[in-house]
A and B are shown apart, each in its own frame.
Chain A
Amino acid sequence: MTVLLTIAVVGFLGYCMRAVFIVSLAKHAFPPLALRVLEYVAPAVMGALVMTMLTGAEGTLVIGVPEVAGLVVAAGVVVRTRNVGIGLISAMAVFWILGSVIS
């Protein structure tokens, strides 16, 4: 029961973090500079998120040649095609092929 209550409290506080600005700023006009700065949130957060996924808890990179090649291919294909699905398939193909060759 205590664990369930903890899960519920964490869920509620997590919801509050998602809702705080969406709800509180509903009636406020955003200054143009603020809107332009918000454009940088996505690259900053997603860049940090990607690197977090690629590093271990000890602060070391947990990727090898197949992963690096896959990531380079993914970025190149998405920039060229503007299609994440094609980028994903290309990257995984490179990752699996190189992985099998190297091992």
Chain B
Amino acid sequence: MAQGSVNPSQVNTGPVKKAILDTLTLFLPAIPFALVFGLVVVESGLPALLGWSTSPLMFSGAAQITLVTLLGEGASLAAAATAALIVGARHLFYSITLAPRFQGQPAWFRWLGPYLLIDQLFALTVTMENRDPDYFRRYYLASGFSFWTLWMSFTALGLFIGPAIPESWGLAFATPVLFLGLLALSVDRWEKVVVAVVAMLITFALADMPNRSGMLVAAFLGILLGLMLERFRR
């Protein structure tokens, strides 16, 4: 892996090749997550194909696990659906953050792009310093469809081998490490460090809220704090 491969501004390769390399780097820690999802489907008692259908229909790992788990535990359809939507509500933040990058893009891309918008793709594109619209579109699509293909494949594979992975390997720890690394890349001013730390502390304080909804409150308050700090700077 070439140094700087996850920071799109630092490498002069084409957007498609670069996107695929970055995607592979970011997907490696997500492999255990995909396999665990397969295990969750098996344990939920849902038919395997029906559980796996959440991958193409929802394409949102945490929301998929929430929905399938709750359906397997006998929750009502409305309750399970509501919980899954709350878990996925952070995508609203992603949508408003990336909206300026979609301005001036073709209409088909504005309608197709959101389907591919997952945590990893947001993290890759929000830290992108290359402002060229054509580069952004090619990179976004190449990375998005790479993630999509890998997620479909590995969640299907997880139906068969997910139950066989020893928990003692601790592979799930790679996911918070990955996002902490992306967080470290995204903070280039002390105000952003303050916002990130405050959001983490509020999330911890609200960790027992239903369906992990404290995360949304923390993110909202963190952004509000950013607004105040920005006004203070001016």
Contact = CB atoms under 8 A, between A and B. Distances in A.
Contacts of A20: 92, 95
Interface string B180-212: 111111110001110111111111100110001
A60 B192 CA distance: 25
Interface string B137-149: 0000000000000
Given A38-B96, A84-B181, A17 B102 contact: no
B1 interface: yes
Given A43-B195, A78-B185, A22 B180 contact: no
Interface string B78-98: 001100110011111111111
18 contacts: A9-B81, A10-B58, A11-B57, A25-B99, A26-B107, A30-B100, A35-B100, A42-B123, A43-B199, A44-B222, A44-B223, A45-B199, A60-B207, A75-B181, A75-B184, A79-B184, A85-B1, A87-B181
Interface of B: 1, 3-7, 10, 25-26, 28-29, 46, 50, 53-54, 57-60, 63, 67, 71, 77, 80-81, 84-85, 88-100, 102-103, 105, 107, 110-111, 113-115, 117, 119, 122-123, 126-127, 170, 173-187, 191-193, 195-204, 207-208, 212, 214-216, 218-223, 225-227, 229-230
A47 B199 contact: yes
Given A7-B54, A10-B67, A83-B7, A22 B95 contact: yes
Interface of A: 2-4, 6-11, 13-15, 17-23, 25-27, 30, 33, 35-61, 67, 70-71, 74-75, 78-79, 81-88, 91-92, 95-96, 99
A55 B207 contact: yes
B85 A10 contact: yes
B93 A41 contact: yes
Contacts of A58: 207-208
A8 to B, nearest CB: 6
A100 B73 CA distance: 35
Nearest to B53: A7
Given A41-B223, A49-B215, A87-B177, A23 B57 contact: no
Contacts of B10: 82
Nearest to A5: B77
B91 A14 contact: yes
5 residue pairs, one from A and one from B, having the closest CB atoms: A40-B226, A44-B222, A19-B114, A59-B207, A59-B208
Given A83-B7, A88-B178, A48 B88 contact: no
Contacts of B218: 44, 47-48, 51
A87 B96 CA distance: 29
Contacts of A67: 173
Nearest to B115: A15
Given A19-B95, A26-B103, A47-B196, 12 more contacts: A4-B50, A10-B85, A18-B91, A19-B110, A22-B95, A39-B192, A40-B225, A40-B227, A46-B186, A48-B215, A71-B176, A84-B185
